[in-house]
């Protein structure tokens, strides 16, 4: 009986170690590590079966020791490269990820070249006052090739023979509002100019320096470039182009020793995302530029709900940018950086569902996660004999709180 009790508790210990390891890999959720995750799950099931077959206490104890040793070896931090002598060029440092990354890398001892749109802006002033003299601020609009070339000349002249270790392509915009049909052509062009062509211009300009130093390229992308997020067609299309370019570049630069990584953040408060006035201007601009016939078919109440959902989503986004900054640092200093990094809460689980579940379930998950639309386009309501009522059953588009319900009119 005592031997059985000992075996039972050792069995529970072994299972705890393996299940904990499995959960840790799942929560990390790097899709590139899925084979390892599946192998870990297989090992868990194997140990569970062996223990279920009443393995002797001594053998179970040996298995527990081996499991603990393997877990400790696996959980040990990977060796990193030294910071000394490494220079990094970062775009889009006025605010958000770029600003926070420039400060962190400077504090770690990197020589940082930080680009901003405005050298007299608040972001640039804050970097000047809070960072060391190693940090160099350069005014660059990445959609202007001559400014990119001037940034290359400035960086090269200051580096001398030292070379450049990495480029962090962070600059990006999301000039988007509404469904794919409702998004203006200027939105599509604006996103592509910055998120794709601007990043492409910087990458091509700085590649000779990176090849010379066997350095790294880190592109800050978005899950919307891989998955069909509702109402993010223009932004997602530009990030999809960036993702394909990054993956192609990674294969092509492998013989040169240049590592190329994609950083995929979850939702964070950056740039104008939490600015109520910004969303109001976007909404008014859309109303003024949509064809009247299209506006009539969708209805202002449909656009209003979309704006409010974007605002609500922005308010709930994470303010702590450290998960992304930490991931950038990891990618810069890892001896063997991963092709893709998933930074922030929930994004790993989202990719796990996208990669291993049916597309219908994955897309349903995205709709519930991001844009829980309840208002139906006006033309569809008319086709289905519906009217939009408020809670007092008055025929108006929305009440003062913008709370609406859909009610079907039945024949008398």
188 tagged catalytic: no
Looking at 53, 75, 97, the residue that finishes a domain is: 75
Residue of 11, 188, 235, 298 marked active site: 235
H helices of 109-184, where? Answer: 122-130, 145-159
Note whether residue 296 is domain-resident.
yes
Number of domains, the chain: 3
pTM of the full structure = 0.76
For residues 142 and 14, membership in a common domain is answered with no
Residue 306 domain flag: yes
> 96 and 242 share a domain?
yes
In a domain, 80, yes or no: no
Contact by Cβ (8 Å): 297, 377: yes
Instruction: Identify whether residues 190 and 242 lie together within a single domain.
Output: yes
Write the pLDDT tens digit of every residue in 198-209.
999 999 999 999
Cα→Cα distances 213→51, 175, 210, 216, 339, Å = 52, 36, 5, 9, 19
Question: Is residue 365 very low, low, confident or very high in pLDDT (cuts 50, 70, 90)?
Answer: confident
Domain identity same for 10 and 60: yes
Q: What is the CATH number of the domain that holds 350?
A: 3.40.50.720
Q: State whether 301 and 405 are in the same domain.
A: yes
Residue 280 lies in a domain: no
Instruction: Of 119-128, 319-328, 356-365, give the lowest mean pLDDT range.
Output: 356-365
pLDDT of the residue at 28? 46
Tell me if 193 is assigned to some domain.
yes
234 within 8 A of 176, measured Cβ to Cβ: yes
Residue 45 pLDDT level (bands cut at 50, 70, 90):
low
* Ramachandran region, residue 163 (left: φ > 0; alpha: ψ -120 to 50; beta: rest): left
**Dihedral of alpha carbons 210, 216, 220, 221, sign:** positive
66 and 93, same domain (yes or no): no
Listed residues 368, 384, 404: the one ending a domain: 368
44 and 164 housed in the same domain = no
- Stretch 164-192: mean pLDDT, rounded? 91
Is there a domain that residue 240 lies in?
Answer: yes
Give domain status of residue 188, yes or no: yes
Give yes or no: residues 65 and 196 share one domain: no
Q: Are strands 405-408 and 386-389 parallel, antiparallel or unpaired?
A: antiparallel
pLDDT for residue 153:
97
Per the structure, the complete domain to which residue 335 belongs is given by 87-273+317-368
Widest distance between CA atoms in the chain: 85
pLDDT at 407: 34
Considering only residues 283 and 31, tell me which one the structure prediction assigns the higher pLDDT. Answer: 283
Residues 255 and 302 in one domain: no
Q: Are 350 and 202 in a shared domain?
A: yes
Residue 360 confidence (pLDDT): 83
244 and 142 within one domain:
yes
Query: Does residue 278 lie in a domain region?
Result: no
Same domain for 357 and 298: no
pLDDT at 47: 57
Q: What is the pLDDT of residues 263-305, one digit of tens each?
A: 999 888 776 666 677 778 888 888 999 999 999 999 999 999 9
């Amino acid at each position: 009986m005592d031997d059985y009790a000992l075996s039972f508790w050792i069995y529970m210990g072994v299972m705890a170690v393996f299940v904990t390891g499995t959960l840790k890999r799942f929560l990390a959720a790097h899709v590139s590590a899925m084979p390892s995750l599946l192998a870990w799950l297989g090992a868990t099931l194997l140990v569970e079966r062996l223990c279920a077959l009443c393995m002797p206490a001594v053998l179970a104890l040996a298995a527990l020791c081996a499991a603990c040793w393997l877990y400790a070896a696996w959980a040990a931090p990977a060796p990193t490269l030294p910071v000394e002598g490494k220079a990094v060029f970062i775009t889009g440092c006025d605010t958000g990820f770029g600003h926070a990354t420039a400060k962190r890398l400077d504090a770690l001892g990197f020589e940082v070249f930080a680009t901003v749109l405005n050298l007299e802006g608040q972001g640039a002033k804050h970097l000047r006052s809070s960072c060391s003299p190693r940090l160099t601020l350069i005014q660059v609009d990445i959609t202007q090739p001559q400014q990119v070339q001037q940034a290359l000349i400035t960086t090269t002249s200051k580096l001398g023979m030292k070379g450049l270790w990495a480029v962090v392509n962070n600059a990006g915009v999301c000039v988007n509002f509404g469904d794919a049909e409702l998004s203006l052509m200027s939105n599509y062009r604006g996103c592509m100019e910055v998120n794709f062509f601007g990043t492409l211009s910087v990458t091509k300009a700085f590649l000779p320096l990176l090849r010379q130093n066997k350095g790294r390229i880190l592109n800050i992308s978005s899950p919307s470039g891989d998955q069909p997020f509702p109402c993010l067609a223009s932004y997602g299309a530009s990030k999809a182009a960036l993702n394909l370019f990054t993956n192609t570049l990674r294969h092509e630069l492998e013989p040169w020793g240049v590592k190329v990584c994609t950083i995929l953040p979850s939702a964070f408060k950056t740039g104008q995302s939490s600015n109520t006035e910004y969303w109001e201007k976007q909404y008014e601009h859309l109303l003024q530029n949509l064809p009247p016939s299209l506006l009539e078919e969708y209805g202002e109440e449909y656009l209003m709900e979309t704006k409010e959902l974007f605002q609500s989503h922005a308010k709930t986004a994470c303010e702590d940018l450290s998960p992304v900054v930490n991931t950038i640092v990891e990618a810069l200093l890892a001896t063997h950086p991963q092709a893709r990094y998933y930074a922030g809460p929930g994004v790993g689980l989202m990719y796990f569902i996208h990669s291993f579940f049916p597309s219908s379930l994955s897309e349903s998950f995205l709709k519930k996660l991001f844009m829980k639309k309840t208002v139906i386009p006006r033309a569809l309501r008319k086709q289905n004999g519906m009217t939009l009522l408020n809670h007092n059953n008055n025929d108006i588009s929305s009440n003062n709180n913008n709370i609406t319900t859909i009610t079907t009119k039945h024949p008398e």
